[in-house]
Amino acid sequence: MRHTIAVLVKDHPGILARVASLFTRRGFNIESLAVGHTEETDISRMTIVVKGDERVLEQITKQLNKLIDVIRVKDISPQNSVERELALIKVNTNSLPARSEIIQTVDIFRANIIDVNSQIMTIETTGTEDKINALIELLRPFGLKEVVRTGKIALSRGSVTSSGLKK
């Protein structure tokens, strides 16, 4: 079972190492990890996708909470959240038919072409993991040169927030 957890952390040097080493030494597997700033200065948000049953999730949550620089840990269930991932895909476009087929596919997926020359096209797409997987699979036959993905980020739906740090 996969879980998405949001971890709000103090923006101290070494916090990423602290979180990552915790996962390693406790034997938890990170599937993806995305880090970035939040609406509050000095606070970053890590979105971590992990595999494990409820008990593993409980241990991860508790162990993360023990880190002094971790302010809040929240399990974000897929039913009650919006999640997105960004991917950049560089694909071969040596033949003309390939080129038009790729452009059609990009249109269907509402992705964008952000760089192009006679040899390659770089495509930008955001969406759920499944959508990005699907796009990549459709582009694979043309020859994928390079793929980079951000890892998932997520927010709870509605007015529920994970932060609410202001007193």
Partner 1 sequence: MRLTGAQIVVECLKKEDVKVIFGIPGGVIMPLYDVLYSETSIKHILTRHEQGAAHAADGYARATGKVGVCVATSGPGATNLVTGLANAYLDSIPLVAFTGQVPTNLIGTDAFQEVDICGITLPITKNNYVVRDVKDLARIVQEAFYIARTGRPGPVLIDFPKDIQLAQTEFEYPKKICLNGYKPTFSGNVKQIKAAVQAIKNAKKPVIYAGGGVISSNASSELRDLVLKTNIPVTTTLMGLGSFPETHSLSLGMLGMHGTPYANYAMSDADLIIALGVRFDDRITGKLDEFGSNAKVIHIDIDPAEVGKNVLVDIPIIGDVKDILEKLNKYILKKKETEWLEKIKDWKRKYPLKYCKNNGELKPQYIMEAINKITKVGTVIVTDVGQHQMWAAQYYQYNEPRTFISSGGLGTMGYGLPAAIGAKMGCPEKRVICISGDGSFQMNLQEIATAINNNLAITVIIMNNGYLGMVRQWQEFFFNKRYAETTLNGNPDFVKLVEAYGGTGIRVNKKQELYPALEKALSLDKFVLIDCLIPKEENVFPMVAPGSPISKMIGVE
Closest contact distance (angstroms) between CB of 109 and partner 1 is: 40
Binding of residue 58 to partner 1 (CB under 8 A): yes
- Residue 21 in contact with partner 1, rule: CB under 8 A: yes
Residue 127 tokens read as 């969406």
Cα four-point dihedral sign 112, 115, 117, 120:
negative
Count residues near partner 1 (CB under 8 A).
22
CA distances 138 to 86, 116, 119, 133, Å, are 17, 18, 18, 9
User: What element of type H or E holds 22?
Assistant: helix 15-25
Q: Among residues 32, 38, 59, 105, which is the contact residue for partner 1, using CB under 8 A?
A: 59
N- to C-terminal Cα separation, the chain: 35
CB of 16 to partner 1, least distance (A): 11
CB of 66 closer than 8 Å to CB of 79: no
Considering only residues 71-100, where is the footprint of partner 1 by CB under 8 A?
A: 71
Residues counted in the chain = 167
| 63 makes contact with partner 1 (CB under 8 A) | yes
We find the least distance from the C-beta atom of residue 50 to partner 1, in angstroms, to be 16
Residues 23-52 contacting partner 1, CB under 8 A: 25
Paired tokens of 164: 């609410």
* Minimum CB distance to partner 1, residue 21 (Å): 5
Using CA atoms, how far apart are residues 150 and 131, in angstroms rounded to an integer? 14
Residues that bind partner 1 (CB under 8 A): 9-10, 13-14, 17-18, 21-22, 25, 55, 58-59, 62-63, 65-71, 165
